[in-house]
Structure 1
């Protein structure tokens, strides 16, 4: 695939391939603006994990890891596979995740 096309995907579109490993793809039903906001939360939480690790703060690290999990679940990359959920469940998943992360 081209540089702008993103990572390689499996033929069914459910997974991406990165360095030979298969990872669940983001749910394509998540609207672009919501997905972008969730990725901002995800990256901030990943930076917070690194900072907590450097500060030797296990409580902050646990909190940051919980935020990563929320963001990845909202994106459809964890939890019940998005292709096994109906449209309402998929929408509820990302709306709840975004609301929880926005409230933190």
Structure 2
């Protein structure tokens, strides 16, 4: 189910000539905030984990889950019904909250 109202500017962010997928705009602000917090923690963990393969894998998993929840990875959010997108975001957050820090 395509979201015809979403333009390329709403779907993509271009930084230094590279195109990045934007966060799904239909997600509630509190859900985006929680997922973004986990994304930041994951990115910090990646920086701290250099030389520790287990810590690096765990941090990258946190980043990946958060980005999938935000709609920045995985299926294009504009091609799916809003209910599926919301379900995926909530599932990602639940899994993230179950991870050890």
TM-score, normalization by structure 2: 0.87
For 1:11 and 1:96, how far apart are their aligned partners in 2? 27
Structure 2: gaps of 5 or more residues: 1-6
1:69 aligns with 2:67: no
How many residue pairs get matched?
93
For 1:84 and 1:43, how far apart are their aligned partners in 2? 27
For 2:58 and 2:24, how far apart are their aligned partners in 1? 24
For 2:8 and 2:54, how far apart are their aligned partners in 1? 41
For 1:96 and 1:85, how far apart are their aligned partners in 2? 16
Picking from 38, 41, 44, the partner of 2:41 is 44
Higher relative contact order (CA 8 A, sep 6+): 2
Q: RMSD of aligned C-alpha atoms?
A: 1.2
Q: How does 1:1-104 map to 2 (within 5 A)?
A: 11-53=8-50, 56-104=51-99
Structure 1: gaps of 5 or more residues: 1-9
1:40-87 per-residue CA deviation (whole Å, 9 max, x = no partner) reads: 10000110111111xx10011011101100000000000000001111
Give the superposition deviation at 1:18: 1.1
Moved over 6 A (4+): none
For 2:8 and 2:19, how far apart are their aligned partners in 1? 12
Give the superposition deviation at 1:11: 4.1
